[in-house]
C-alpha cells in the first residue's frame, strides 16, 4: 500500500486524495465510487508495467460493451421523447443487458489483473515438469478384445497383452505365417 496512488496515477485526482495518509480508505473509496475508473486504470498500469498490448479480441469485447451502452442510451432518449411504453421497456431491457455485459467484462479484466500480479509476485511457483506420455498400444482388427485405455476392462477376462502362460521372445505365432523374414 506504500506505492498506492488513486486510479494508478491516470486520473486528474490522482495524488490529491490523501493516499499517503490513509491509502486503505482511498482505495475503498476509489473502488466503491469510481469502479469503472479503478478497473480501467489498473488495466492501463499493468499494460504499461509488463508491456502488454491489447488484443483484437479485447478490443472487440470492450467495443461491444461500449456500443451496447450507447444503444441503450439512445433508446432511453427516444423513449423519453416519444413517450412510448414499448420503447421504454426495450430501453430498460437494453440497459439491463448493457450492465450485465459491463459487469462480466469488468470481472474478466480483474481476473486478468490478478493473474498478471500473481505472475509479477512469483505466486505461481515452478512450472510442472513435462513427462513422456505412457506407452500405448493400437487396437488391431484381429483382436477380439481391444486394449484397455485408462482403466482395466471390466468383465472381459484377462487384460490385453497378459496371459497365464510364459511367453518367449518373440511371442509364439510372431511373425504371422507368410510374413517375409
Rounded Cα distance between 46 and 53, Å, is 10
Q: pTM, whole model, 2 decimals?
A: 0.56
pLDDT for 167: 52
pLDDT for 137: 58
pLDDT for 46: 87
pLDDT for 36: 83
pLDDT for 35: 86
Low pLDDT (below 50) residues in the chain: none
Q: Are 28 and 8 in contact (CB under 8 A)?
A: no
pLDDT for 172: 64
pLDDT for 71: 92
Amino acid at each position: 500500500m506504500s506505492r498506492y496512488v488513486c486510479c494508478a496515477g491516470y486520473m486528474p485526482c490522482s495524488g490529491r486524495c490523501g493516499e499517503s495518509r490513509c491509502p486503505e480508505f482511498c482505495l475503498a473509496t476509489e473502488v466503491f465510487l469510481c469502479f469503472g475508473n479503478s478497473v480501467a486504470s489498473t488495466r492501463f498500469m499493468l499494460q504499461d508495467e509488463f508491456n502488454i498490448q491489447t488484443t483484437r479480441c479485447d478490443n472487440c469485447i470492450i467495443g461491444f460493451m461500449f456500443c451496447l451502452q450507447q444503444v441503450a442510451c439512445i433508446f432511453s432518449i427516444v423513449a423519453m421523447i416519444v413517450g412510448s411504453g414499448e420503447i421504454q421497456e426495450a430501453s430498460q431491457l437494453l440497459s439491463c443487458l448493457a450492465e450485465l455485459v459491463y459487469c462480466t467484462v469488468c470481472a474478466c479484466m480483474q481476473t486478468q489483473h490478478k493473474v498478471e500480479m500473481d505472475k509479477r509476485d512469483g505466486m505461481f511457483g515452478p512450472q510442472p515438469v513435462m513427462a513422456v506420455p505412457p506407452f500405448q498400444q493400437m487396437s488391431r482388427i484381429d483382436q477380439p478384445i481391444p486394449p484397455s485405455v485408462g482403466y482395466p476392462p471390466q468383465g472381459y477376462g484377462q487384460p490385453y497383452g497378459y496371459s497365464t502362460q510364459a511367453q518367449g521372445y518373440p511371442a509364439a505365432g510372431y511373425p504371422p505365417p507368410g510374413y517375409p523374414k
